[in-house]
Amino acid sequence: MAILSIFGKEEDKGDEKLINSVPFKLVTEWFPYKLYSSRKSYVTLTMKISNITKEPLLTSVTLRLPNQIAFDETGISHEKSFRLGSLEPNEVKELHVNVYNNLKAEAGDYTTLVIATAHYKDYDHVINSIRKKELISVV
């Protein structure tokens, strides 16, 4: 019995292949490469996500930050999700997100988490996902 059969889809050997394989290629880049602890500053995280399977995938991306940095200048928002819609085979989508420091950010390296998820029919059902940890330096 295939996992997707519980969602009303007939068994298909390609489904197991999709569940057990890596569906995306995720490339991330920080610009500039560091935040400053002594003043307000921000960096831009650029993410390029590409579908490396042979089927279109309903895709979302979630970013999680530690408490010392945030998506807004007030330091309140630490998690952000993007619904990218259907990503065709070999299609690449690019996202740009600003990340701000706040007064709680001491000098050091902080780990961020980027999660790219492939969904089935709607965003409530997950087929597969990949996680990538990124370091950002505060000096």
List pLDDT tens digits, range 121-138.
999 999 999 999 999 999
Q: pTM for the whole thing? A: 0.84
User: Domain containing 115: what range?
Assistant: 23-138
Count of structural domains within the chain: 1
- Kindly report the backbone phi and psi dihedral angles of residue 131, in degrees, each rounded to the nearest multiple of 5, phi listed first: -125, 140
Alpha-helical segments (H) within the chain = 13-20
Q: What do you get for the CA distance between the two ends of the chain, in Å?
A: 53
27/115 Cα distance (integer angstroms): 12
Q: Is residue 54 part of a domain?
A: yes
Q: What is the mean pLDDT of residues 89-100?
A: 96
* Cβ-count burial 92-118 (b if 16+ within 10 Å, e if not): ebebebebbbbeebeeeebebebebbb
Query: Three-state secondary structure along 110-138?
Result: EEEEEEEEEECCCCCCEEEEEEEEEEEEE
Q: Is residue 105 part of a domain?
A: yes
Q: Output the pLDDT for position 1.
A: 41
24/31 Cα distance (integer angstroms): 23
pLDDT band at 20 (very low <50, low <70, confident <90, very high): confident
Q: Is residue 120 part of a domain?
A: yes
Q: Is residue 72 part of a domain?
A: yes
